[in-house]
C-alpha cells in the first residue's frame, strides 16, 4: 500500500517569504510501505521549469526522504511528456537581483542534496529532459527513460555555459570523450541514442514500468550493508561535492556575472520568444 504525503510549502528559515508561492503542490513524496522506496514527483505545470519555488520544494523533499529512513528515492514527473524543461528561463531573464541569488543558491542546494544523497537514487524519466532536467537525472545513480523523448545538456545551443558541477554529473555517467563532444555541441539525445551511449540505463514502455525498473535497481542493494553502501557512494562522489561546497560563493558570482551580460540576456530573450511562438503554433 502507498503511504502518500504531500509536502507543505513552508519557507525555509533562511528563505525570503516574499517569493514563496502558493498553495500549489510542486512536489509530492509517496513512500511504498512494502518496499520502503520513496517516489518524489515534480508537479509544476506546464513543463516542470525549475524555478525558485520548485527548487526549494525539491530540496525539502529530498531532505524528507533522507530523514524518513526510505530505502531509496525515485525521481519522476507528473507531466506525461516532460520530466523537466530545465531551469525556468524566466528566473534568469531580466532577473530580480535578490531573487536570482536565491534561485542559484537553491539550485546548488538541490544538486548537493541529490548527487550527495545517502540513499540509492534513480530517475524515471517519463518525458523530455533538457539541461537542468538532465542535471537532475544524471545526479541519480540509475536512469530509466520512456521512448520518443530527448535528454541532454543543450546549454551551448542557448549561448550559455553549463557550470562545472553540471558537467560533473554528466561525466559521472558518460565516458569523457562522449561527454566533451555532447557538451560542446549542446546535443540532445533521443531515448534510443541515450541508451546506446550510456546516458540512460534502460528504456521502459510506460511510466509504471519505469518506476518498477527503478525500484528493481534500488532493490539490488537489499543485501548490501546500508552504511557501507552509503559511505562508498559518498566517497566516490566526494571530490565533486567538495569542490562545489568550497566554491559556492565564486560559483554564484560567476553565474551572476555571466547571466547579466547583455549578450546573454539578449540570447535568453530571443530563446524565450521562440519557445512562446512555438507553443502558439
Ligand atoms: C567562463 C565561463 C564560466 C561560466 C560559468 C557558469 C555560468 C552559468 C550560466 C548559466 C547556466 C545555466 C544553465 C542552464 C540550465 C537550463 O536548464 S536552461 C533551460 C534549458 N531548457 C530548454 O532549453 C528547454 C526549453 N523547452 C523546450 O524545449 C520545450 O518546452 C519542451 C520542454 C521540450 C516541452 O515542449 P512542449 O511540450 O511542446 O511545450 P512548449 O509548448 O514548448 O512549452 C510550454 C510553455 O512552457 C514554456 N517553457 C518551456 N520551457 C521553458 C523553460 N525552460 N523556462 C521557461 N519557460 C519554458 C514555453 O515558453 C511555453 O510557455 P507559454 O507560451 O507561456 O505557454
pLDDT digits (tens, 9 = 90+) for 66-83: 998 899 999 999 999 999
Amino acid 24: pLDDT: 62
Measured from CB, residues less than 6 Å from any atom of ligand 1 are 46-47, 49, 81-82, 85-90, 128, 130-132, 154-155, 158, 160-163, 254-255, 258-259, 275-276, 278-279
Nearest atom in ligand 1 to 90's CA: 55
Distance of CA 49 from the midpoint of ligand 1 (Å): 7
Say what the pTM is: 0.92
Does the structure show a pLDDT above 80 at 1? no
Range list of β-strands (E), 129-280: 129-130, 142-145, 150-152, 188-190, 202-203
Asked whether the beta carbons of 156 and 182 are under 8 A apart, the reply is no
Cell of 246: 568550497
Which residue shows C-alpha cell 502518500? 4
Minimum CA distance residue for ligand 1 atom 18: 87
Integer-rounded Cα radius of gyration of the chain: 18
List, in order, residues 6 or more apart from 175 with CB less than 8 Å away.
Answer: 198
86: preceding bond cis by omega (within 30 degrees): no
Q: Could you tell me the domains of the chain?
A: 2-280 (3.90.226.10)
Say yes or no to pLDDT of 156 above 50: yes
Question: In the predicted model, is pLDDT for residue 42 greater than 80?
Answer: yes
- Ligand 1 center to 255 CA (angstroms): 17
Average per-residue pLDDT in the chain? 91
Q: How far apart, in whole angstroms, are the C-alpha atoms of residue 236 and residue 241? A: 10
CA 135 and chain centroid, separation: 5
With a pLDDT cut of 70, the percent of the chain lying above it is: 91
**Rounded Cα distance, 31 and 73, in Å:** 9
Which amino acids are annotated catalytic? 87, 132, 154-155
User: Which is more confidently placed, 159 or 5?
Assistant: 159
Per-residue pLDDT reduced to its tens digit, 189-217: 999 999 999 999 999 999 999 999 999 99
* Interface ipTM: 0.95
Amino acid at each position: 500500500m502507498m503511504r502518500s504525503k504531500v509536502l507543505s510549502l513552508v519557507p525555509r528559515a533562511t528563505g525570503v517569504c516574499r517569493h514563496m508561492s502558493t498553495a500549489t503542490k510542486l512536489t509530492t513524496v509517496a513512500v511504498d510501505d512494502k518496499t520502503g522506496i520513496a517516489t518524489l514527483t515534480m508537479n509544476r505545470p506546464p513543463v516542470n521549469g525549475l524555478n525558485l519555488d520548485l527548487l526549494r520544494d525539491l530540496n525539502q523533499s529530498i531532505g524528507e526522504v533522507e530523514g524518513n529512513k526510505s530505502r531509496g528515492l525515485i525521481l519522476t514527473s507528473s507531466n506525461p511528456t516532460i520530466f523537466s524543461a530545465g531551469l525556468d528561463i524566466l528566473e534568469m531573464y531580466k532577473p530580480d537581483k535578490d531573487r536570482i541569488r536565491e534561485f542559484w543558491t537553491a539550485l546548488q542546494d538541490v544538486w548537493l542534496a541529490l548527487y550527495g544523497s545517502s540513499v540509492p537514487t534513480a530517475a524515471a524519466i517519463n518525458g523530455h529532459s533538457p539541461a537542468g532536467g538532465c542535471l537532475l537525472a544524471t545526479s541519480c545513480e540509475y536512469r530509466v527513460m520512456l521512448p520518443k523523448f530527448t535528454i541532454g545538456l543543450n546549454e551551448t545551443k542557448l549561448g550559455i555555459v553549463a557550470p562545472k558541477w553540471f558537467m560533473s554529473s554528466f561525466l559521472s555517467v558518460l565516458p569523457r570523450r562522449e561527454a566533451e563532444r555532447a557538451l560542446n555541441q549542446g546535443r540532445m539525445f533521443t531515448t534510443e541514442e541515450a541508451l546506446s551511449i550510456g546516458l540512460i540505463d534502460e528504456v521502459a514502455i510506460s511510466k509504471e514500468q519505469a518506476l518498477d525498473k527503478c525500484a528493481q535497481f534500488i532493490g539490488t542493494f537489499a543485501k548490501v550493508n546500508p552504511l557501507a553502501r552509503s559511505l562508498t557512494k559518498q566517497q566516490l562522489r566526494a571530490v565533486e561535492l567538495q569542490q562545489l561546497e568550497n566554491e559556492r560563493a565564486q560559483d554564484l558570482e560567476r553565474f551572476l556575472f555571466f547571466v547579466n551580460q547583455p549578450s546573454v540576456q539578449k540570447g535568453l530573450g530571443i530563446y524565450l520568444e521562440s519557445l512562446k511562438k512555438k507553443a502558439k503554433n
